[in-house]
């Protein structure tokens, strides 16, 4: 490799370096959304939520207002919205919310949801037990689905200096286009009826 590099002229070296930079930047642009999502999940940055297999079992008398928000990435054709925009639950109580997605096109389309919570201080205390956002979603042409998210607000929120004054938490999802996996098998319509 070094021998090839040494045989290149100055212009060829510049062209090779420029091509390498362009390819690297393109790859980083392509990977930005999944890498940022991974970073936020690992660090809790930007209002990223926690996950758990069950609630703590402690339910307080205090309530929390939870707002639900939905959007889609630019040029992603699904219609996506929360079924209910607001819910009020007791802190520690398990809540269940539904989002509705519709594929108005004539082709199957896959998507994955990124999410966050605001205010950011509350992200550590908003905990999901189960969520459609944990998996790839594929909607068939004209298909409409209800997608659940099961969650609770950790009672430790009232002990946190930065988050204890929170009265409303907003859970936001954005759907992004994803390639349909090569091994994906569409469900048999006869089996779903």
Q: What is the pLDDT of residues 107-116, one digit of tens each?
A: 999 999 988 8
pLDDT score for 43: 47
Separation CA 24–CA 22 (nearest Å): 5
Question: Using CA of residue 158, residue 162, residue 163, residue 168, what is the dihedral sign?
Answer: positive
Domain spanning 46-178, CATH architecture: Sandwich (2.60)
Could you give the count of Cα atoms lying within 13 Å of 172 in the half-sphere of its Cβ?
A: 16
Reported confidence tier of residue 192, pLDDT bands at 50, 70, 90: low
Distance CA 162, CA 121 (A): 6
Which pTM value belongs to this model? Answer: 0.70
Cα–Cα distance measured from residue 123 to residue 164, given in angstroms and rounded to the nearest whole number: 12
The DSSP secondary-structure symbol of 186 reads P
């Amino acid at each position: 490799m070094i021998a090839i590099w040494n045989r290149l002229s100055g212009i060829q070296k510049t062209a090779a370096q420029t091509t390498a930079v362009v390819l690297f930047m393109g790859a980083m642009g392509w990977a930005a959304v999944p890498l940022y999502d991974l970073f936020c999940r690992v660090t809790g940055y930007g209002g990223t939520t926690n996950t758990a297999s069950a609630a703590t079992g402690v339910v307080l008398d205090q309530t929390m207002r939870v707002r639900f928000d939905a959007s889609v990435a630019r040029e992603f054709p699904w219609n996506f919205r929360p079924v209910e925009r607001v819910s009020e639950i007791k802190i520690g109580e398990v809540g269940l919310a539904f989002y509705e997605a519709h594929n108005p096109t004539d082709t199957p389309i896959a998507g994955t949801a990124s999410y966050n919570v605001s205010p950011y201080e509350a992200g550590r205390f908003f905990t999901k037990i189960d969520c459609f956002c944990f998996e790839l979603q594929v909607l068939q042409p004209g298909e409409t689905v209800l997608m659940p998210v099961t969650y609770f607000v950790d009672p430790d929120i009232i002990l946190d200096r930065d988050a204890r004054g929170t009265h409303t938490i907003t859970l936001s999802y954005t759907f992004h286009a994803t390639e349909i996996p090569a091994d994906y098998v569409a469900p048999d319509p006869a089996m779903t009826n």
